[in-house]
Amino acid sequence: MREEIIIAGSGGQGILFAGELLAQAAMNIGKEVSFFPSYGAEIRGGSANCTVVISDKEIGSPVVFNPSSIIILNNFSLNCFLPRLKKGGLLVINSSLVNTEINRQDIEIVRIPASEIAEKKVGNLKTTNLVILGKYLGKKRIIPMENMLKSIKTVLNGEKELISLNSEALQYGYEYPLVVNSVNPDN
Amino acid sequence: MKKIFSRPESLKETQHLYCPGCGHGIIHRIIAEVADELNIREKTIGIAPVGCAVFAYDYWNFDVTEAAHGRPPAVATGIKRVLPNRIVFTYQGDGDLAAIGTAEIIHAANRGEKITVIFVNNAAYGMTGGQMAPTTLIGQKTLTTPFGRNAERDGYPLKICELLSSLEGVVFLERTGVNSPENVLKTKKAIKKAFQNQIGNSGFSLVEVLSQCPVIWRMGPVESCKWIEKVMVKTFPLGVFKDTNRHE
Amino acid sequence: MKRTQRAKRTKRTKPAQRILMKGNVAICEGAITAGCQAYYGYPITPQNEIPAYLAKRMVELGRVFLQAESELAAINMVFGSAVAGARAMTSSSSPGISLKQEGISYLAGCELPAVIVNVQRGGPGLGNISGSQGDYFQATRGGGHGDYKNIVLTPYSVQEMYDLTILAFDLADKYRNPVIVLADGVLGQMLEPVTPSTISHQPIAISKDWALDGCKGREPRKIRSLLMAEGALEEHNWKLNEKYSKIKKNEVRYETYNLMDAEIVLVAFGIAARVGKGAMNIARGKGYKVGLIRPITLWPFPEKIISDTAERLHSITQSLNHLTTFLVVEMNLGQMLEDVKLAVSGKVPVEFYGRPGGGLVTQEEILEKIKQISK
């Protein structure tokens, strides 16, 4: 098994946190894993992305040009990373914010109004990252939910309120009805 | 027969390479006498500068390291932080401390490093043959100010004691001279105090010593001593600039 | 037979727990494990996690942490702590390492142990903050003034960021020499599982009978690099050279992969070796006979394995009439390339693929180059 995921959005959307969480959980179930963040001068507001590689074997490059999955939280990131997604790869998009036309027919597309769910169901817009990560895991099923929840506890190290908030968001995403469009419905 | 004067134990029995009439030898001896009197020879680590006193490790009879030009306060910090019970001092000239090492001296002082700094100000670069120092007086002729130091072009003499006196980490600042027996005694008192401050763990102490440099100044030794008294002190007045006595 | 098997089983201990760690943090944990007593640094991206992490951890452990006023001050504080006999470290990234060169030259001249971490970024000048390997020459050629060498260790995983930092302290003490850990922004920023050392690491017992800690009960000591007496400096340099020869003899480290039947041999270090290894595996899957030599010490450089491999490649070309070649891959415009060419000494061709200015080489690009060479 080998999965290369790029998670991308804007700084402050919790992109790096979502990636680190995924890497932590993958490591805990015995996988080889690497996490590589974009890092820039900006703390918030700029673009942010990270690459997570999960594999049964030793990982070569931690930086991947053509990922097998991309999780996209804003329009700008879609333009950057959509052309790089592998043929047959998976695109998970935050349909609350991404309205750009998707002009590829050779990929799987999963849409979830992650910001809306985060704001209305979870009650905190900042959990958008975990909602969409949950959706990705619901589709890919590479890491059992219980391991993800355990990793949230590890990474957040005892911050109870944040742990329960993030766990809830992850589950909302995970259980959100799966609608896969392998052909762009906008066409 | 009673012995009333001898070489301090902290001074090695070796020939100095300083020019006739130079003040460094006097200041070296004062430090050695103070180390003996305070009984700190065996726990003292000195830092020799780049400049005329670069061979200081050959003269003092305790541990001494060299340091790159201007960096003694950083080196002293590195030693004192890992060996807080030792006595650490830097011996620096005006080029070393007040030109290339200005950042290091200001920040070591501002951190209140518990070290002692002996700052020898002779208003010129000696070892390299007599160029303008940051402390060269207005109008003073050097190799690189052949028409005299011009404030417009070269800026003004840098007054280190005045400059450092505003820093909270500093506990003791005094400017003295070694141009007369009276001033030599005052210098010894000041240097002793600067070391006592360190023994008492109270903070950063610096003694600026106006020191004669007859060869570079193109003067005789006696004339040099007089020049300090008549001319140099006008720009660099002697006295205590700060003494918080925090250890008492 | 059975007994042996049982003995083997009981010997197998539970694997140590893996911890997901950032490369820069792994450097810190390695330093702490190695007994680093003092750290001095100055902020610069992409190594800022090192001072931030140590500011907390060193203080918790009762050790010295200090944010210096400049890189110059930081390396000279390291100099001071080394003079006093302590294990000391500083870290920075390329422009900051340039500033430290004066201090590194003095450390080498005074024969003082110290660990200097360079999490390289793109240059020249202020450059950018991407990972780069542009400081190979600076690290391996001394970098400052004078005729001296640094031991240069180059990690290629977060695990090695940890392991090689520990080794750096041991080698620095063993040879009284500055050791540079040459990493890069990618390694510094990435997270990977690290298995921390399960043995409690004690600094190797070396009596520092040269350190300055006050002359109680002994003759005063001096530490200096100024040697003005007739012939003294030349003698000192010859003595240093003898030490360097010993290091060259004892401390060369590298790894090789798939060399046995390789006809195209990649040579790469650090993050480029990681990417190169990935490319090698893909190329093997496509039938290309690709191997990899990965130097772990950049100085001393693993010349022998490269010249031996060059011999072997040359004989393959002679006997089978197959094309054989080295392919050096770096994130610069060809710096280690010169050392590889020296070792190969014209026996077989040496090709190069590199990207400067913080450009990260990709598996796809290396693969493309392999295909191109094989045509």
User: What is the C-alpha to C-alpha distance for residues C192 and B179, in angstroms, rounded to an integer?
Assistant: 66
CB contacts of C362 in chain A (<8 Å) are: 61, 63, 65
Range of the domain at B123: 24-128+158-213+236-243
Nearest CA in chain C to B40: C214
Answer left, alpha or beta for residue C357, where phi above 0 means left and psi between -120 and 50 means alpha: left
- Residue A187 maps to a domain: no
Three-state DSSP state, C13? coil
Q: Which residue has the tokens 């006739």?
A: B20
From A23, A36, A58, residue closest to C20, measured CB to CB: A23
Query: In the predicted model, is pLDDT for residue C192 greater than 70?
Result: yes
C81 reaches B (C-beta below 8 A): yes
* Structural domain contains residue B153: no
Can you list the domains of chain C with their CATH numbers? 11-204+211-250 (3.40.50.970), 255-374 (3.40.50.920)
Chain C contact for B36 (CB, 8 A cutoff):
no
Question: Does residue C12 surpass a pLDDT of 50?
Answer: no
Does residue B15 lie within any of the structural domains? no
Compute the average pLDDT of residues C142-153. Answer: 97
CB contact under 8 A, C189 and A36: yes
* The token pair that represents B49 in the structure block: 């500068």
The CATH number for A166's domain is 3.40.920.10
Q: Kindly report the three-state secondary structure assignment for every residue of chain A.
A: CEEEEEEEEECCCCHHHHHHHHHHHHHHCCCEEEEEECCCCCCCCCEEEEEEEEECCCCCCCCCCCCCEEEECCHHHHHHHHHHCCCCCEEEEECCCCCCCCCCCCCEEEEECHHHHHHHHHCCHHHHHHHHHHHHHHHHCCCCHHHHHHHHHHHHCCCHHHHHHHHHHHHHHHHCCCCEECCCCCC
User: Mind telling me how many Å the CA of A3 is from chain C's nearest CA?
Assistant: 14
Domain contains A185 = no
In a domain, A45, yes or no: yes
pLDDT digits (tens, 9 = 90+) for C304-350: 999 999 999 999 999 999 999 999 999 999 999 999 999 999 999 99
Does chain C touch chain B (at least 3 C-beta pairs within 8 Å)? yes
| CA proximity to C182, closest of C155, C160, C158, C163 | C155
Local structure of residue C145 (DSSP, 8 states): S
* The token pair that represents C319 in the structure block: 């006997």
CB contacts of B81 in chain C (<8 Å) are 38, 64, 66, 77, 80-81
pLDDT given for residue B87 in this prediction:
98
**Is C185 within 8 Å of A62 when comparing Cβ atoms?**
no
What residues make up the domain containing A13? 2-177
- Closest chain B residue to C227 measured between Cα atoms? B55
Q: Which of A20, A39, A65 sits opposite C191 (nearest CB)?
A: A20
Set of chain C residues whose Cβ sits within 8 Å of the Cβ of A30: none
Q: Would the CB atoms of C45 and A24 count as touching at under 8 Å?
A: no
In the prediction, which pLDDT does C10 show?
38
CATH number at residue B78: 3.40.50.970
- What pLDDT sits at residue C200? 60
CA distance C191 to chain A (A): 5
Task: Determine, for residues C129 and A65 on separate chains, whether the beta-carbon distance falls below 8 Å.
Answer: no
For C259-297, how does the pLDDT look when each residue is reduced to its tens digit (9 = 90+)?
999 999 999 999 999 999 999 999 999 999 999 999 999
Number of domains chain A is built from: 1
Interface chains of chain C (3 or more CB pairs under 8 Å) = A, B
Asked if residue A183 is part of any domain, the answer here is: no
Q: Which segments of B38-144 does DSSP mark as H helices, in order?
A: 56-59, 72-82, 94-95, 102-110
Whether residue C295 has a cis bond before it, omega within 30° of 0: no
Residue B7 lies in a domain: no
pLDDT at A46: 74
Q: Would you write out chain A's pLDDT as a tens digit for each of its 187 residues? A: 999 999 999 988 999 999 999 999 999 999 999 999 987 655 556 789 999 999 999 998 898 989 999 999 999 899 999 999 999 999 999 999 998 889 899 999 999 999 999 999 999 999 999 999 999 999 999 999 999 999 999 999 888 999 999 999 999 999 998 776 654 444 3
Closest CA to C166 of C297, C267, C287, C29: C29
Q: C146 at the A interface (CB within 8 A)?
A: no
pLDDT 10s digits, A48-95: 999 999 999 999 889 898 999 999 999 989 999 999 999 999 999 999
CA distance B61 to chain C (A): 6
pTM more than 0.90: yes
Q: Does A34 lie at the interface with C, CB-CB under 8 angstroms?
A: yes
Give a yes or no: residue B209 inside a domain.
yes
* Residue numbers of chain B with a pLDDT score lower than 70: 246-248
How much is the pLDDT for C8? 39
C44 to C119, C130, C161: CA distances (angstroms): 10, 12, 18
Look at residue A186 and tell me if it is in a domain: no
- Count H helices and E strands in chain C, helices first: 13, 15
What ipTM did this prediction achieve?
Answer: 0.95
